[in-house]
Amino acid sequence: MIEISQYNSSEQTQWDDFCDSAKNATMLHKRGYMDYHSDRFSDFSLVATDGDGKIVALLPACRQGSTVISHAGLTYGGWLLPLRHFDATTMLEVMDAAVKFLRGQNATELIYKPVPHIYHSYPAEEDIYALFRHNARLAACNISTVIPLDEPLSPDRGSKSAASAAARNGVTVETNASFTAEIDEFWSVLSTLLRDRYETTPAHSIAEIKLLQSRFPSNIRLITAKMQGAIVAGVLLFVTAGVAHCQYIAASPAGKQGKANALMFHKAIEWAKAERLRYFDFGTSNEAGGRVLNEGLIQQKSRLGGRGIAYPTFSISI
């Protein structure tokens, strides 16, 4: 018998402990990460327990009106599942109980963003089957570009040439850049790029990213490319569950002219391989829920050896 309840802040320790042993949880699902933007999202996370009160699954989620979203403030949410004593039959019970619970809470829709398989420490797609059984529809689909680091494709000739040109132009890359010392300068490059090209701002404020890095210092790291001592390009990585994910990528006009990104990514990928990570995830290249593809951006990523991984979003009518 599965019981569903809404998460309470008094359960933070149990939540985080479960994430530590789950087969598909990452840093993004820890309460220290989820709760940093609690002022923007109304938390509606769910806890599934068995007849003995033991947690069997967690659903990071928030609520917007009658819609429950797993999770609007996260790249991916979805049910977090244990490694042992859990299979598709239990998953169906959990999903059935959750839908019944949400119906009782006057919710009419569940927007569900499963954890992409590259972030699984062990196969964990029982939730995809449960979505099918509940007649879920594909509501959105973004595509990310990923390199499997155990057997990566070589960058194409143009990418190698650009990296060599960057070195000749005096670009140097620091894979162990000091976050504290250099985040402000990188953030200036990033903010200027987003403002001038896209008329937008980073999803995180500089204060928020500093707070998160203080909470997860081994998971959030900065790689920078410099010319004459100044940062001209950088990538902020979220390192989770064997994956280096590019959360923010930016280059200044001087960095673009000097081909800094090419050399920076060559060095970043080498670093990730040396750290024995499994994947290097460049991130998605979409807008409008995946209906708009930034073709130039995704082609740049593919030239470095990356290939496509889908980030789907599903909808269930409650």
pLDDT value for 295? 95
Kindly give the parts of the chain with pLDDT less than 50: none
3-state DSSP assignment of residue 205: coil
| Calpha distance 44→131 (Å, rounded) | 19
> Model-level pTM greater than 0.85?
yes
Beta strands in 114-242 (DSSP E): 137-148, 172-174, 220-227, 230-240
| Calpha distance 118→120 (Å, rounded) | 6
pLDDT value for 63? 98
pLDDT value for 282? 97
The type of residue at 217 is: P
Sheet containing 46-49: order of strands: 3-6, 46-49, 55-59
pLDDT tens, position by position, 232-258? 999 999 999 899 999 999 999 999 999
What lies within 8 Å, CB to CB, of 72 at 6+ separation is 41, 62, 64, 111
Using omega within 30 degrees of 0 as the cis cutoff, is the peptide bond preceding 85 cis?
Answer: no
Contact 162, 156 (CB under 8 A): no
pLDDT tens, position by position, 89-145? 999 999 999 999 999 999 999 999 999 999 999 999 999 999 999 999 999 999 999
pLDDT value for 38? 87
pLDDT value for 105? 98
